[in-house]
Amino acid sequence: MRGIEWRLDRGGKADKKQREVVEEIVIELEAVSRRYGAFTAVDAVSFTVPRGQILGLLGHNGAGKTTILKMLTGYLEPSLGTVRVAGLDMVAERLSAQAKIGYLPENCPLYPEMVVIDYLSHIASLRAVPIAAQAKLIRRALERVGLIEKATAPIATLSKGLRQRVGIAQAILQDPEILVLDEPTSGLDPEQIHEIRALIRTLSKQATVILSTHILQEVQAMCERVVIMMHGKVAADAEIAELRRSNRIILTVRTADTAAVDRLRRLDGVTSVSEQPAVSVALGERQFRIEVSAANAPGVSPALARAVVESGWELIALHPEYRDLDAIFRELSEAKRGQA
Ligand code: ATP
């Protein structure tokens, strides 16, 4: 898994071993491609999702996200490659695999003239849930999405945010172990977005979640890991924190030492040091931006802390510099354009 390899590059071998032992893979795409006629919408995509993770599938409109989610939920067959869900092959064992998944399609079709419980009962019947079992499932789903009070309301009278909750209720009706959500907050106002995100976070305590979005903040707000899609291909696959971590460290100290930059530059693993202009830091403080080589990265922060103490400087802060996801996305887009 690329997210883990990323850690390995930074010297996290023990970490990788540990995680491989505890992680149970519940979603697996292996070299999956999908063509529409001569056009390849999804091109040799591979990634896995361990149990309990919230994975964001991020990309511009047309990047191939919906096509991937349709293949993942068995509504579209791959032209090439394999999709496995909870250990089941999505083509050969489709019905059993689909039973593990709750799916909220983009623009989930609802029947506006129906009342909420009738709609959910209709969906349950389509899925062959016995009538006797339906009431309990519907009540539980409505409770989980916070819609009990609207149970007998016609869908047409609900706000967009509440309608999206109805869509989510049908997805979780049978308590699936995997939730697939296609653009779950699309078209909602900021307050509704906030509420739906909170709901998804709550639901993720009981299910592995994969959601698609073209909104960077959505991924940053909700997901532990992101797969970035560009023109049908995976452009990046990493944990958000790893992706955002750069090979730079920010050190803030109080000192009048005129040789500070030289001292820092001499440390093992440090490739360059620049001092931030005084106007951009608090009065009396000095801030250094320290580039480190990837190979020596894990040892540099402790060495910096020792150097600060040994030099008699006052330590204010020492932390990795985090890149913003927006900048990463732009970098990847530019690199992709350069390859084209
Ligand atoms: P969006 O958020 O706009 O839905 P997406 O990332 O989900 O974007 P897809 O819907 O998977 O992207 O579409 C990927 C590409 O495949 C697009 O160029 C789209 O026009 C094309 N495409 C999707 N469905 C079909 C189809 N049924 N026939 C032909 N081309 C299609």
Distance CA 30, CA 185 (A): 28
Using pLDDT thresholds of 50, 70 and 90, give the confidence band for residue 305.
Answer: very high
What is this structure's pTM? 0.80
pLDDT surpassing 50 at residue 3:
no
pLDDT surpassing 80 at residue 317:
yes
Which of 66, 72, 185 gets mutated to test ligand 1 (max ligand atoms within 8 A of its CB)? 66
- Write the pLDDT tens digit of every residue in 185-242: 988 999 999 999 999 999 999 999 999 998 888 898 899 999 999 999 999 999 988 8
| pLDDT score for 6 | 33
| pLDDT score for 340 | 62
- What is the position in ligand 1's atom list of the atom closest to the CA of 67? 11
The phi and psi torsions of 109 (rounded to 5 degrees) equal -70, 120
Residues of the chain with CATH 3.30.70.260: 246-327
Is the CB–ligand 1 distance for residue 61 below 6 Å?
yes
Instruction: Tell me the mean pLDDT in the region 53-64.
Output: 93
- Write the pLDDT tens digit of every residue in 102-131: 999 998 889 999 999 999 999 999 999 999
Strand 39-50 to 101-104 pairing: unpaired
Q: Say if CB 44 and CB 32 are below 8 A apart.
A: yes
Quote the CATH superfamily of domain 246-327: ACT domain (3.30.70.260)
Is the CB–ligand 1 distance for residue 7 below 6 Å?
no
DSSP type of residue 231: T
Q: How far is the CA of 71 from the centre of ligand 1 (A)?
A: 13
More confident residue, 8 or 88: 88
Instruction: Tell me the mean pLDDT in the region 305-311.
Output: 95
Query: What topology is assigned to 25-242 in CATH?
Result: Rossmann fold (3.40.50)
pLDDT surpassing 90 at residue 264:
yes
Lowest mean pLDDT segment, chosen from 33-42, 224-233, 292-301, 304-313: 292-301
Is the CB–ligand 1 distance for residue 64 below 6 Å?
yes
Strand arrangement of the beta sheet that strand 245-254 belongs to: 270-275, 286-292, 245-254, 314-322
Is the CB–ligand 1 distance for residue 75 below 6 Å?
no
Is the CB–ligand 1 distance for residue 163 below 6 Å?
no
List residues bridging with 227 in a β-sheet: 57, 237
Distance CA 310, CA 4 (A): 35
Q: How far is the CA of 39 from the centre of ligand 1 (A)?
A: 10
Using pLDDT thresholds of 50, 70 and 90, give the confidence band for residue 173.
Answer: very high
SS3 325: helix
Angle between helices 190-203 and 160-172 (to 10 degrees): 10
Distance CA 115, CA 9 (A): 54
Instruction: Tell me the mean pLDDT in the region 319-326.
Output: 83
Is the CB–ligand 1 distance for residue 112 below 6 Å?
no
Distance CA 269, CA 138 (A): 59
More confident residue, 334 or 172: 172
- What is the position in ligand 1's atom list of the atom closest to the CA of 64? 11
